[in-house]
Structure 1
Amino acid sequence: MIWSVIERHAYAYTSPRWLEAWRVQRLRRELARCSVSAATSSRRLYVDVSVISRHDAGTGIQRIVRAVASHLLTDPQPGWVIHAVGASRRHPYHLIQWPTAEVPAPHVPIEGRPGDVFIGLDFALDTIRFHRRQLTDFKRRGGKLWFMIYDLLPVLHPAWFSDKNVVRYRKWLGVLAAMADGFYCISPYTEAELREELAQRYGLESGFRTCVLPIGWDLASSRPSTGLPAEFDSLLQRLARRPTALMVGTIEPRKGHADVLAAFDILWRQGRGYNLVIVGRAGWKTETLQLALRSHPRHGKHLFWLDDASDEALAMLYAACNGVIVASLAEGFGLPLIEALGYGKPVLARDIPVFRLHEDKGVRYFDAGCEPSTLAHTIDDWLGTAQGTMPISPLDIPTWADTTRSILSSLAAENA
């Protein structure tokens, strides 16, 4: 931990903003001078799944990666040959067999040609940096480089993350700034924050494109993970007896679990028999909260924490709950909110700008900085009257097919 703190301060000293901007702009000027021939009739699309191909942690980001990659790879598109690619510290980007690895692919590095596109779909902070020369060469040969931006939170709120991950993120973003042709963003707010960061830190206001993607929700169409925890049927039966609120997200500082738990403590002391179910892996900087959850007197009675739930189990919990609470202090998008709406569930969300994108779908909000007693009153009113489903038309919620169509349309427009 001490070394991480030293590394963060050293990085700020050795990479001042003016030097970062100079390096980024120099490389972009160099790449812009490369002349390439016209694209071939059949274009190759390389989809980076470096992280999820090794380990699927089931986070919101990885649910997006898995869903988008699966749709791109299983739905043939005219004019495109689409490949999954991966890399590691030892091996550069190469074709891989994903989601199955029955026949290991040879580690032959990919090379670009006019019309080819590499999409950095996975959140591969280190892999992109390790192989930036390969990707730069891919671009020099006529390929295009696009990257998914899920949020700017390690830059905007570094206190919520480890010092090591803040440094890793800043280095990764600097590599992207130097060579990206375009960025896919998961909300208009992420797009605006990205453009502001690129302008302020690297002096970039043009020479790249941004595209906001519609984000899907359906777990069943995202190549879901399967398997149910022990005594899961018994849990569902218990949830059916009382009004149940569901929270989905890694236990980390910004997700707001502590606020919601404090509000439920008040409700339980008042005699309310509500259930609170939390689905999310143990994260960072929340050891005290994790201990409070595991040792809580209501644990296993009205409070349930599933720290390794599959997509199959999550889908069943969405169906079983009376409503979903999304209490994040900040998000790039907030996948659980759109998933809840897709399952027709009432949503109570913290009043932050990115969640206001869905207010026309009946989302109810609580004040971003409200006291636990105020939040408890809001939850009591909301959960006490929640009917379990909402009259939302599936046509109002984007699908993963919409996400992939938007990606391919943006690339077609670029080549037009």
Structure 2
Amino acid sequence: MNPPIRRLLIDITHTASQDYHTGIQRVVRSLARESLAYSANPETKIECFPVIHIDGRFVHVDRWCAARGYSKSGRSWAAFCQDLVPNWVGTANRLKLNRLGTRIRKLLYPRTIDRFARKVIQRLRPPHVAVNPGTGDVILMPDSWWDLPELFEAIQSAQQNGAIVGAMVHDLIPIRFPEFFDGGMRTKFTPWMQRLVRTVDFILGDAQAGEDDLWRFIQEENAPIERHNVSHVRLGCDIGPVRQVDISKVPGNIRRLFAEREKAPYLMVSTIEVRKNHHYLLDAFELLWQEGVDVSLALVGRVGWKCDDLVARISNHPEVGKRLHFLDNVNDDALNYIYQRSKGFLFSSKAEGFGLPIVEAQHHGLHVFASDIPIFREVAGSGAQFFSLDDPSHLQRQIVAFENEQGWESKPSITVENEPWKAVFPKLVDVVAHLAGNLLEARSASASRAA
């Protein structure tokens, strides 16, 4: 039986025009990469490929963009040429060179050569190939495109031509917890989501918890999307095997700090920001130190935003450099070394879209202590321990018990399997095809009743 769709177009417009490497961009680039690998299979019935929106139309992503890892493709071609061809003509005019200087410039680099060189370079890159989405096509919007309102007009035009449009929304944290963000993000994201749920045909989350929250938001907004058109696909995790560390690239202070497992610190890896809730960890460890429990805490990550009070608390803490350690410039080898030698992993975040650091910690064989929020229970499974964010003494008691049992000597129980993107992408295609089939059946039934 043939699928209800013939092409799945994955919009990567925002990611392809930037050079960011945040969580959403990593997801989008993984989808772009796997879509082409999926379509390379001759038995595939649905053609999948990434697209970008440029000059008022959706176009194929060319090999130049793919070769750069799907970044900076939206840069103007004129700017690219400017880098390759020296603009001596313009420079001479700006500097108002004297007549002799102008003659020398014309002799060495006449305008005809300048124009010819630019034309040759432009011809090296093939023109954009339009996609023209219509009947039989699905456009999936997984990117962070709240800064690109023109895409609403593009997808509505595609819908008028018969295409189905779905969005992949990774979390609603700017709406549920606006205090974690600056005013710019709050004023953009909420109106974007309100318009989104009134425009797209279906919507996907990253996990069951995300799907449930999206459905609550749709109900709150009284949007026209029906419950069976809301689903989720669990994100892939391409972590790879635990690799051998090049010890020469691990700074001496880190080697000394994590030299012995039983004396190593507990670890948290995340940006220093209010949402990650580092204050809670400090409160819990201060309780431990007051009781005479000799444990230490290592915070790994760069300083983020709205966290001046937290940075001051860490910097001025009496245990800093003794049993409290802040490591803000850690290379990959050092981070792997830390993961492999920490006593346990802590994640006290108040809200997350997925929680990949938990997966990474379990992958490295660490016991996980995480805040008791729905997404962490789904991602970490029953093998982790969960603490209440209402009371730091809850985590304190868990660590005391873990210390008494020397829990780091045993392997953690991992009850949730995290699959690579290669295995996840076909599941995404199946979910999208199922949703598209339901939508097409509903449209056909509606048309029959109208007739």
Structure 1 residues 170 and 364: CA distance shift in structure 2, 3 A: same
Q: Give secondary structure in 1 for the equivalent of 2:429.
A: helix
Q: Give secondary structure in 1 for the equivalent of 2:14.
A: coil
Structure 1 alignment gaps of length 5 or more: 1-37
Who is 2:283 aligned against?
Answer: 262
Who is 2:159 aligned against?
Answer: 139
Residue 192 of structure 2, aligned match among 172, 179, 196: 172
Who is 1:151 aligned against?
Answer: 171
Q: Give secondary structure in 1 for the equivalent of 2:20.
A: coil
User: What is the 5 A alignment of 1:87-102?
Assistant: 93-94=58-59, 95-96=61-62, 97-101=64-68
Contact 2:381 2:415 in 1 (8 A): no
Q: Which moved more, 1:356-365 or 1:265-274?
A: 265-274
Who is 1:405 aligned against?
Answer: 426
Q: Give secondary structure in 2 for the equivalent of 1:147.
A: strand
Who is 1:7 aligned against?
Answer: none
Structure 2 alignment gaps of length 5 or more: 70-123, 438-451
Task: Say whether 1:365 aligns with 2:328.
Answer: no
Deviations 1:44-88 (A, max 9, x none): 43242623662233x444443344443333343513443333458
Between the aligned partners of 1:191 and 1:176, the Cα distance in structure 2 is 15
User: What is the 5 A alignment of 1:10-409?
Assistant: 42-48=6-12, 50-51=14-15, 54-57=18-21, 59-75=22-38, 76-77=40-41, 78-86=44-52, 93-94=58-59, 95-96=61-62, 97-101=64-68, 106=127, 110-127=131-148, 129-206=149-226, 209-220=229-240, 231-232=250-251, 234-241=253-260, 242-268=263-289, 272-296=293-317, 298-307=319-328, 314-357=335-378, 360-370=381-391, 372-382=392-402, 385-387=406-408, 390-392=411-413, 396-409=417-430
Please identify the structure whose Cα radius of gyration is greater. 2
Q: Matched residue pairs, number?
A: 372
Structure 1 residues 153 and 395: CA distance shift in structure 2, 3 A: closer
Cα drift, residue 130 of structure 1: 2.9
Cα drift, residue 379 of structure 1: 2.7
Contact 2:295 2:323 in 1 (8 A): yes
Structure 1 residues 355 and 263: CA distance shift in structure 2, 3 A: same
Between the aligned partners of 2:265 and 2:132, the Cα distance in structure 1 is 52
Deviations 1:205-237 (A, max 9, x none): 52871222123334239xx9x999975465145
Q: Give secondary structure in 1 for the equivalent of 2:34.
A: helix
Between the aligned partners of 1:68 and 1:316, the Cα distance in structure 2 is 29
Between the aligned partners of 2:403 and 2:280, the Cα distance in structure 1 is 16
Structure 1 residues 393 and 366: CA distance shift in structure 2, 3 A: closer
Deviations 1:5-38 (A, max 9, x none): xxxxxxxxxxxxxxxxxxxxxxxxxxxxxxxxx9
- Kindly, what percent of the aligned residue pairs are identical? 26
Structure 1 residues 311 and 144: CA distance shift in structure 2, 3 A: farther
Structure 1 residues 100 and 301: CA distance shift in structure 2, 3 A: farther
| TM-score normalized with structure 2 length | 0.70
Structure 1 residues 81 and 163: CA distance shift in structure 2, 3 A: same
Between the aligned partners of 1:303 and 1:39, the Cα distance in structure 2 is 57
Between the aligned partners of 1:319 and 1:68, the Cα distance in structure 2 is 29
CA RMSD after TM alignment: 3.7
